[in-house]
Copies of this chain bind each other. A is one copy, B any other.
Amino acid sequence: MNTLRDIGEDALIERLIDLVPRDSSAAAGPGDDCAVIDLGPHSPTLQLLKTDALVANVHYLPDSPPRAVGWKSVARVISDFSAMGGLPERFLITLALPSDTPVAWVEDLYRGIGDCLEKFGGVLAGGETSSVPLGSSAVISVAATGSVHREHLVLRSTAKLGNVLLVTGTLGGSIHRKHLNFTPRIVEAAWLVSHFKPTAMMDLSDGLAKDLPRMAAASGCGFTINHTALPITQGCTAAEAIGDGEDFELLFAIEPERVAELFASWPFPDLPLTLIGAITAPEQGQFLAGGWEHFT
């Protein structure tokens, strides 16, 4: 009998997607960072919808500081909104927790959620709590709405042959450092979409080795990577940089003739911006091994 371990996350999603009625009006498919909803011609913005979950012993450890876990739960969703060029709005928090969870742990979790909402915008609109059996992992599920100006929307599926690929920040080693308190690149993404709108963009959550092939496949293209150019986090190997995941940096594609001006204009001196490769025809693409697989 086939289990999730046998087929993995991407194949699972492909098998599920046709079993339910789909949103025919959606401006972005179910494979993008967020769902994109057109609220009608009177609205200057599109609505973004996103859901994400943190699981104890998968995305954080039982002794991780709960305030940082709360931050991470919301920051991951904000990172997805930024990847589309949008901003966060309203959040729904679903907690499934064992009944022996200390109240103080949950309060600190909420303080971390509050820290992140206050810093990047967004408000709590509702939530739900449920018990899980004693010994089961806690699950923190975050659903949210966001918005993006119509002309700022960037999909992951619209990279073009000949585009170059850039990433913000450095890659790898997140698990030892920033995975609990990373900064979603919402300021940088907002600047990009209004000054040098990428042809395609996504955030790096499962590692370049997993995410870049997704962008290329969604765009009907291949890709090539200059491994010597990868911005590797100090102390990490190249394999960790492409495979660790949870970098939450921006990966984007842009026309090559705009790159020089982009580098000259980039207003974030503390955040590296690196040209790492290019979009190719599908049959000329490389293969990248590695990346985070959920069901192993």
Contact = CB atoms under 8 A, between A and B. Distances in A.
A52 B4 contact: no
B90 A123 contact: no
- Copies of this chain per assembly: 2
B58 A3 contact: no
A143 B107 contact: no
B23 A145 contact: no
B143 A92 contact: yes
A116 to B, nearest CB: 9
B21 A124 contact: yes
Interface in A98-128: 98-104, 106-107, 110-111, 113-114, 117-118, 122-128
A234 interface: no
A262 interface: no
Interface residues of A, number: 80
A7 B128 contact: no
12 contacts: A3-B99, A4-B97, A4-B103, A4-B106, A20-B113, A20-B124, A35-B126, A37-B125, A39-B39, A55-B131, A99-B294, A136-B136
Interface of A: 1-7, 9, 12-13, 15-17, 19-24, 26, 30, 34-35, 37, 39-40, 42-43, 49-53, 55, 57-59, 90, 92-94, 96-104, 106-107, 110-111, 113-114, 117-118, 122-133, 135-137, 139, 141, 143, 145, 294-296
